[in-house]
A and B are shown apart, each in its own frame.
Chain A
Amino acid sequence: ETGVTQTPRHLVMGMTNKKSLKCEQHLGHNAMYWYKQSAKKPLELMFVYSLEERVENNSVPSRFSPECPNSSHLFLHLHTLQPEDSALYLCASSQNRGTDTQYFGPGTRLTVL
């Protein structure tokens, strides 16, 4: 148990659906991250939030929309996804943005039909 939870753990959606992934951290951290892990590829950083402000968007398509309403919660809103978006989506948090150790959630396994 890393102190970072994600829901749902598994999600199957059609290309026209809208869904949201949720991440919650119970560590009092100030920075939160979304990562994508596709089969046979390295983890890719998607978004970074520091003190609820988005500080990095790593060229992610607009069909992925992050939201950070407070320092403990992070959402990833999904709409009109493509089958190639099927992947494991991981949330992480760290004390501060920078080289602090990042703590990962268990991930959401997303399948887009």
Chain B
Amino acid sequence: KNEVEQSPQNLTAQEGEFITINCSYSVGISALHWLQQHPGGGIVSLFMLSSGKKKHGRLIATINIQEKHGSLHITASHPRDSAVYICAVFKAGTASKLTFGTGTRLQVTL
């Protein structure tokens, strides 16, 4: 079992829908990182958070440390949001080692 689990693995939504991607982890962490990977491979960092909630445009990231769970929400989804969204955690006590989930493939259709 992976230390970082994401759900769903695949998600198809219609333009305008509200989307939630979940991340659960089984280890102590110092921070949780959301990344976006477009076709072709390039990865962009979206959020890093260790508590509470962060918002950037239509994207919202939350984390519940007690429940070892994080979520990424996309409001008013758009086809350009289609990508793989990856959750990664910095395990407590490891200075720089990110542990990654397998990603959620999102397809937003018109």
Contacts and interface: CB of A to CB of B under 8 A. Distances in A.
DSSP class of B's interface residues: helix, strand, loop or mixed? Answer: strand
Interface string A32-62: 0100010011111100101000011010000
A2 B46 CA distance: 12
B42 A102 contact: no
A45 B4 CA distance: 14
A55 B102 contact: no
B42 A107 contact: yes
B70 to A, nearest CB: 15
Interface residues of A, number: 30
Nearest to A31: B96
Contact of A104 (B2, B42, B48, B99): B42
B30 interface: yes
Given A43-B88, A106-B42, A98 B96 contact: yes
13 contacts: A2-B44, A42-B4, A42-B101, A42-B102, A42-B103, A44-B100, A48-B96, A50-B96, A58-B97, A98-B96, A102-B45, A104-B42, A107-B43
Interface of B: 2, 4, 30-31, 33, 35, 40-45, 48, 50, 86, 88, 90, 95-103
